[in-house]
Chain A
Amino acid sequence: MPFKELNTVMKKSLFFSAAIASLTAMPLVATAADIKIGFVTTLTTGGAVIGNDMRDAVNLAVEQLDSTMGGKSFEIIFEDDGFKPEIGKQATEKLVKEDNVDIVAGYIWSNVLMASYKAVTRADKVIISANAGPSAIAGKLCHENFFSTSWQNDQTPMAMGELLNARGVKSLYMMAPNYAAGKDMVAGVERTFKGEFAGKDLTKWGADAQLDFSAELAKAKASGADGLVVFYPGKAGGAFIKQYQQAGLSGQLPLYTIFTVDSLSLPNLQKANMDGILGSEMSMFWGPDLDNPTNQQFVAAFKEKYNRYPSHYAAQSYDAINLIASAANALDGDFSDTGKVREALMKADFESIRGSFEFGSNHMPIQNFYARKVVADDNGDWTTSITKTVFESHQDVYAAECKL
């Protein structure tokens, strides 16, 4: 008996080993493109709403460039971060080490970016954030190989504080999720808002994030504030708006939002008849109606192709690809010298959806910030419209801490 058993165990172990071996040795799909760009974003879980929008914008850019930059063919390799720093980090390592990409872009979440960027910089390649902008990487951890086509976290809430001053808000209630970016948002508003805080709430975030804000809304209402500012990205945003309206706060406590209401959440809000959001204002570096030819072209093409408005996530991703293309054009598609790639990127010589594009010393954009209002467009679809310029050529405060 033992011999027979030995035989089966050996056989099966060998089979198991062979299975692993054959899996690991599986040939990769060979790619013919000269230039490879990795793009890390969220393609699974609820965060995929944002990731899909970014991917659509990237694909639009690829189509418009006809898969060619600097005279060379290029391709985008998308990777999913699964909304987790650890998975995002591994995806980044894969792009750098296995796919041997020339440049990595993407990154929605600050924590995924923080976990991943070293994998790129250590390989002496360039990483471009198309969304995340934590203070550390704009300031003391800034890196010569890191660039951003979005913004630093503090900038948008700082614009919000300024907007509140302009709107005559004296007493403010603020709500945000209890994580690093949420706290950055609160701190940002505090920097520029001149009135007083009637109260603020940091709500539970993460795997079992709080989506019922009844307790906080009741407090906000009782506080006697004349303005309410919230930061709730993703699905929490839609949930918040519904409860804001259901609590009957719409005419009573004017709502201002940061990264909460966008073209991803508005169609859903419209379907649910949440008309309390119409007319509410937000601060943002961009809007679908921002008046410059590149942006008009981008928004029209995006709507044509996907039948919806692009979000700012899409706009930033579109800029990221075109920024890379500008470098490729300057270098005739040769990304082998990272120093030259940096120089070419730094010039930012491309048609941006912002109109003009300029990097600060820490490789974060120096840009305008606007106030946007939720409106219905000519077809009755809800969108946002720019009402005023809040900041001109604004640079983030952490640039001073960056020793580049």
Chain B
Amino acid sequence: MDWTLVLTQAINGLQLGILLFLLSAGLTLTFGIMDLINLAHASFFMLGAFICAWATLYFDSFVVGIVCAILGTALLALIVEKTVISHLYVRDHLDQLLATFGLILIADTAVHLIWGPAGLAIPLPSQLQGQVRFGELVVPTYRLVIIGVGLLIAATLYWLVNKTRAGMLIRAGASNRQMLSTLGINVKLLFTSVFILGAVLAGLGGLLIAPITEASIGMGNDIIITAFVVIIIGGIGSIKGAFVAALLIGFIDTFGRAFLDTIFALFMSVDSAETAAPAVSAILVYLLMALILVWRPQGLFPPKLR
């Protein structure tokens, strides 16, 4: 076994996990507190990437791009929450699915109309282009940046949710929604804030990955399903659960892709291993979810007192 390779894959898995966490954190909060299934979360992921790419190219600065993207997604989230989402809180899940799918269609087409079908690349500052060496291990600098920023955001969220008054309200909302209104809390304001927070986190996820994959139409739709898998495994409404599940899926997916064919080749022919491995590694994540749901129907860390 080549340990440098294993370590490299571990770092890759961590990075994928962090990205999934950024996307899932908002999803699990809006779901847990407002009981809202929001497919359009994927659109904020995409919009964050596009706004960042556009601003980076326009102002010739990645930092300005990031700032623009955060402000832009926050503003868009505010508009969408006030015009559409706020009417959906009282509706059932199916109405929410339908309406937020409508939002995805609108967002995807709007992006196509504004920026064309080709997608936008984000040029990285040259300091972030290189690689960092740890002995034999060579890691792209930018991936370390993603991991660092992601962990920082995770820590901030942890502090926000567990140590502040706003966080107390969020936790209270996730475990018992009725309690909030009886406590005389401005529920509307709380809901709007949580929605914007979630959207900005998704936008951050999008702009962080865009320098690697580029901003493209529907980029969030591809990953939103995995994000849903994450929050289901983690337990709906639990930030901690989302974090653990995101890392778990990041590792399983990465290691599955990296080593499954080698493992399969131990007990079948190389040819069949090469055919079977991609199929199995593609369903690994879903298999995991199905198994966990059978074992713990509420996910790994369900918020107590539902």
Contacts and interface: CB of A to CB of B under 8 A. Distances in A.
Is chain B in direct contact with chain A in the complex (CB below 8 A)?
Answer: yes
Interface of A: 44-49, 51-52, 178, 200-204, 207-212, 214-216, 218-219, 221-222, 235, 238-239, 242-243, 245-248, 264, 268-269, 271-273
A49 B12 contact: no
Contact of B131 (A51, A248, A268): A248
Given A204-B282, A215-B12, A218-B258, A247 B112 contact: no
Contacts of A272: 121-124, 211, 214
A203 B2 contact: no
Nearest to A83: B218
Interface in B225-261: 225-226, 254-255, 257-258
Given A202-B278, A222-B2, A273 B112 contact: no
B211 A242 contact: yes
30 contacts: A44-B112, A47-B117, A49-B118, A49-B119, A51-B117, A52-B117, A203-B278, A204-B257, A208-B223, A210-B257, A211-B219, A212-B12, A215-B9, A218-B258, A222-B2, A222-B5, A235-B119, A235-B214, A239-B212, A239-B213, A242-B212, A242-B213, A243-B140, A245-B129, A264-B118, A268-B214, A271-B121, A272-B124, A273-B123, A273-B129
B130 A238 contact: no
A200 to B, nearest CB: 7
A218 B5 contact: yes
A238 B119 contact: yes
B57 interface: yes
A51 B217 CA distance: 15
B235 to A, nearest CB: 23
Contacts of B112: 44, 48
Nearest to A271: B121
Given A218-B258, A235-B214, A268-B214, A242 B117 contact: no
A264 to B, nearest CB: 7
Nearest to B281: A204
Contacts, number: 129
B138 A268 contact: no
B140 A246 contact: yes
Given A218-B5, A246-B143, A238 B12 contact: no
Contacts of A214: 8, 12, 15-16, 140, 143, 254
Contacts of B12: 212, 214-215, 218
A46 B111 CA distance: 11
B1 to A, nearest CB: 11
Nearest to B215: A235
Contacts of B9: 215, 218
Which of B16, B130, B141, B282 is packed against the most chain A CB atoms within 10 Å?
Answer: B282
Nearest to B140: A246
Nearest to B137: A218
B121 A269 contact: yes
B278 A246 contact: no
B259 to A, nearest CB: 9
A173 B223 CA distance: 28
A268 B112 CA distance: 16
A9 B107 CA distance: 36
A271 B57 contact: yes
Which of B119, B209, B219, B226 is packed against the most chain A CB atoms within 10 Å?
Answer: B119
A45 B217 contact: yes
A253 to B, nearest CB: 12
Which of B122, B214, B258 is packed against the most chain A CB atoms within 10 Å?
Answer: B214
B258 A215 contact: yes
Given A45-B217, A269-B121, A272-B122, A246 B212 contact: yes
B278 to A, nearest CB: 4
Contacts of A204: 257, 278, 281-282
B142 interface: yes
B274 interface: yes
Contacts of A203: 257, 278
Contacts of A247: 131, 138, 140
A210 B222 CA distance: 9
A239 B213 CA distance: 4
Given A235-B214, A242-B211, A242-B214, A48 B142 contact: no
Contacts of B254: 214-215
